[in-house]
Structure 1
Amino acid sequence: MTGTPSAGTAVVTGAASGIGAAAAAELKRRGWSVAGLDLRPAPECDYTAQVDVGDPDAVAAAVAQVQERLGPVDCAVSVAGYYEMLPVSDITEQQWTRMLRVHVGGLVNLSRAVLTGMLERGTGSIVAVASELAVGGGSEDAHYAAAKGAILGVVRSLSAEVAGRGVRVNAVAPGPTDTPLLAADSPWRAPDYLRTLPLGRLVSAEEVALCIAFLADEATFCVGEVLNPNAGAVI
């Protein structure tokens, strides 16, 4: 299935690159008007706002601008984030706080900004991007895995809270993905790691975007679900 074109408006955080850019492009292909929220411009979107997703007031103001320009938000996709590897003993308080602020705070701030309108209209979809590491963990990934694990907790709890009022909340938890977020010398790109994957390769941002768009556009039967495009790393 390719999805039914929609006249609705979608907001994608992290839309300037990687999975966020791919998700924005796929939603546009399916007929959505797409607004991109990012620290950098997202030129492929119909509207873009440079926003720190960890700032609740800034996100609320940006979503208000989106609704003024493009109409009510029917879909919100929380992708914005970053990745770093550090031994747990080396992670500073600032690094712990920033990781949680961007990943979990970004999802919560976006959700709060769009939910009032969605609940009033009795329809809407929120999709969060978590990670395979939220389930399996990883060496030197404690603060990243903790943040992504918290995203799954928010998704499952929020879905239970709002599903009865017409709003679906789901998540995609990809494995290492072939985007600029992974450095050329990342251990996730090493041939020894790739040989452990049943598919023998990383998934692409476009493949993750298909999962996001499916949950946003087609999967009206999915509530609190987590899709795992990870090339078979976690089965």
Structure 2
Amino acid sequence: MSAGTTEQPGVAVVTGAASGIGAAVAAELRERGWRVAGLDLTASGAVDLALEVDVRDGAAMAEAVDRAGRELGDVTAAVSVAGHYAMAPLAEITTEQWQRMLRVHLGGFTNLARAVLPGLLARRSGSVVAIASELAIGGGDEDAHYAAAKGAVLGAVRSLAAEAAPRGVRVNAVAPGPTDTPLLAPDSPWRDRDYLDTLPLRRLGSPQEVALCVAWLLEEGTFCVGEVLNPNAGAVI
């Protein structure tokens, strides 16, 4: 791979594909000609292959990726989107809540990477993208466990990028700011007009805008290794 080249659509595995950013990524990739396997706790019909999988289960993830390869063809890209969001003061975050946040975000990404990387490395081509968060970079009030989990994802992305790039596989991340998805409750402080007015763009991002960043990394950003795109309305510059 070299600067100025593009990657052709192939087979992509997308976790969290049933709603929000994951659904937008799956839709964008399909529109561009990708064959998409959507992995989620609830099967999504808007993909070529919908599988019900808990991203915390490494064995189930490996089986799902193997099935995607058998039914759709060799997996050439993977996008880790599945996650959840919650706010709480540090003193009120239970051990169970800490562990769940880490297992879903960091565990979900690493389980996906473990499942797809052997095939990608063997073929010496392909791309992995993780959805992180601006909170992994800038932090947030009452967001310690979420920001920590997403920060861990960024650390894993950068390390895997260094490991895989010499063998032809690119690993990158997208760290959105607050995005208009069901993860943000109607009364979320991130939807408050006073907060939005602090942003240079004065609005939430859309799932489709995040999906465009993912698609660019998969197809056009062939010189990007260990990078983090930050579509966050200027919240972190």
Same fold (TM over 0.5): yes
What's 2:162 paired with?
A: 160
Report the 3-state secondary structure (helix = DSSP H, G, I; strand = E; otherwise coil) of the residue aligned with 1:215: helix
Residues 15, 23 of structure 1: 8 Å contact kept: yes
Deviations 1:3-30 (A, max 9, x none): 9783510000000000000000111111
Partner AA of 2:112 in structure 1:
L
| Gap runs ≥5 in structure 1 | none
> Which structure exhibits the higher relative contact order, with contacts defined as CA atoms closer than 8 Å and separated by 6 or more residues?
2
Partner AA of 2:87 in structure 1:
M
Which of 65, 71, 95 is 2:67 aligned to? 65
| Gap runs ≥5 in structure 2 | none
Distance 1:226 1:159 in 2: 11
Deviations 1:143-172 (A, max 9, x none): 000000000000000000010000000000
Report the 3-state secondary structure (helix = DSSP H, G, I; strand = E; otherwise coil) of the residue aligned with 2:14: strand
Report the 3-state secondary structure (helix = DSSP H, G, I; strand = E; otherwise coil) of the residue aligned with 1:203: coil
Residues 9, 32 of structure 2: 8 Å contact kept: no
Where does 1:180-199 land on structure 2 (aligned, <5 Å)?
180-199=182-201
Deviation of 1:216 (Å) = 1.1
Distance 2:210 2:164 in 1: 25
What's 1:208 paired with?
A: 210
Distance 1:138 1:204 in 2: 20
Deviations 1:80-129 (A, max 9, x none): 00000011111111110000000000000000100111011000100000
Distance 1:220 1:6 in 2: 11
Percent of aligned positions with the same letter in both sequences? 69
Residues 5, 31 of structure 1: 8 Å contact kept: no
Residues 158, 226 of structure 2: 8 Å contact kept: yes
Distance 1:7 1:99 in 2: 32
Partner AA of 1:29 in structure 2:
E
Distance 1:185 1:5 in 2: 41
Establish whether residue 31 from structure 1 lines up as the match of residue 22 from structure 2.
no
Which of 98, 101, 122 is 2:100 aligned to? 98
Partner AA of 1:120 in structure 2:
A
Residues 178, 203 of structure 1: 8 Å contact kept: yes
Partner AA of 2:93 in structure 1:
I
Distance 1:186 1:4 in 2: 39
Report the 3-state secondary structure (helix = DSSP H, G, I; strand = E; otherwise coil) of the residue aligned with 1:178: coil
Which of 137, 141, 144 is 2:143 aligned to? 141
Give the count of matched residue pairs: 233
How well do the aligned residues superpose, as a CA RMSD in angstroms?
1.1
Residues 61, 111 of structure 2: 8 Å contact kept: yes
Residues 14, 81 of structure 1: 8 Å contact kept: yes
Where does 1:69-84 land on structure 2 (aligned, <5 Å)?
69-84=71-86
Deviation of 1:133 (Å) = 0.1
TM-score, with length taken from structure 1: 0.97
What's 1:51 paired with?
A: 53
